[in-house]
Amino acid sequence: MPKIRNDINGWLVVDKPIKMGSTDVVRELKYLLHPMKIGHGGTLDPFASGVLPIAFGKATRTVSYVMDGLKTYEFIIHFGVRTSTDDIDGDIVETNERRPTAEQIKSVLPKFIGDIDQMPPAYSALKVNGKRAYELIRNGIQPDLKARKIHIESLRLLKVISADEIRFEVVCGKGTYVRSLGRDIATAVGCLGHLSYLRRTACGAFSLKDAFSLDKIKDLCYKEQLVSRLYSIETVLSDILELALNEEQARFLSQGQVLKNTFGAKQGSTYKATLNGLLVAFVVVDGNLIRPTKVFKQFN
């Protein structure tokens, strides 16, 4: 008999453990909950832990608003060793005895803040001529990667743990590879380095205080309490301008019809249209009309 799929809508924040990929977490939740639709809001490498937002049902249509948001990481650079993957899971390819001082590190951090060019790590999921970069390397082909523009909102040294290891915090935008950032900080002070630790502490609207471990999630599933702990779709949309509708306007939009722009909404802008605080649709202002682009709630 076909499996019953549950109509679950909303966001669950998982504290991803190390040694699991993001898709492994999604697979586990599929098995536990059998949702109609599921997706995640930003990949974490297996060696990394921390905030992994999981979208269910209609929330999957808002994943981009999480992935495009700022993310916060704590990370540790282990100096004196360069690895093939720029993290602890790679093979050692070079070592030296040079170690930076805290003052040397602090002097180079400002050059990494703002809009900067970053070379992605060779072992990445980026596609080159239709193939993943890491697949090319495994086949003995060096991928021709290009530097990409990324945004670093803030970057600070948190603690000198030892001569070999220093802990940092970074707040960054979409597409940032923290592994590459660690490698480049080490290079800037004339050293080698790789990440020995990486933990995402915030992702878009979510932080560690919102997150559940997988063991806790399994316990909540057993007690049939998990769905009540989901965050609403609207949680990730706090930064989007809102149009408050009446019931008639909400019904028109939900049926794909346009409204006259009696709201004074700005030409070309995207808004979330709501009824009593609940998301009805995403809309765009087209001249004197409000057009729905994604409908989330249907009205008869």
Is residue 102 located within the same domain as residue 215?
A: no
Mean per-residue pLDDT, 151-179: 97
| Alpha helices, DSSP H, located in the chain | 22-33, 63-67, 102-108, 133-138, 178-188, 214-222, 247-254
Is residue 99 located within the same domain as residue 193?
A: yes
The residue among 218, 235, 252 that closes a domain is: 235
Q: Look up the domain containing 29 and give its range.
A: 10-69+205-235
Is residue 167 located within the same domain as residue 213?
A: no
Mean per-residue pLDDT, 51-70: 93
Is residue 92 located within the same domain as residue 107?
A: yes
Q: Under a CB-based contact definition with an 8 Å cutoff, are residues 121 and 179 in contact?
A: yes
Is residue 149 located within the same domain as residue 81?
A: yes
**CATH number for the domain that contains residue 256:** 2.30.130.10
Band (pLDDT 50/70/90 cuts) for residue 55 is: very high
Is residue 15 located within the same domain as residue 80?
A: no
The mean of the pLDDT values for the chain is 91
Is residue 135 located within the same domain as residue 212?
A: no
Is residue 159 located within the same domain as residue 271?
A: no
Question: Is residue 219 one of the residues assigned to a domain?
Answer: yes
Band (pLDDT 50/70/90 cuts) for residue 1 is: very low
The residue among 217, 235, 253 that closes a domain is: 235
The residue among 203, 223, 254 that closes a domain is: 203
CA distances from 146 to 121, 130, 149, 201 (A): 10, 15, 10, 28
Q: What does the pLDDT read at residue 144?
A: 63
Please give the tally of structural domains in the chain: 3
Is residue 65 located within the same domain as residue 212?
A: yes
**Which residue, 278, 271, 276, 280, is CA-closest to 252?**
280
Considering the entire predicted model, what is its pTM?
0.88
Is residue 30 located within the same domain as residue 88?
A: no
Question: Is residue 2 one of the residues assigned to a domain?
Answer: no
- The answer, yes or no, to whether residue 2 has pLDDT greater than 60, is no
Question: Is residue 4 one of the residues assigned to a domain?
Answer: no
Q: What does the pLDDT read at residue 143?
A: 65
Q: Which residues are catalytic?
A: 45
Provide, rounded to the nearest whole percent, the portion of the chain with pLDDT above 90.
74
Mean per-residue pLDDT, 41-56: 93
* DSSP state letter for 297: -
Q: Under a CB-based contact definition with an 8 Å cutoff, are residues 152 and 112 in contact?
A: yes
Band (pLDDT 50/70/90 cuts) for residue 131 is: low
**CATH number for the domain that contains residue 220:** 3.30.2350.10
Phi, psi angle pair for 18, to nearest 5°: -70, 160
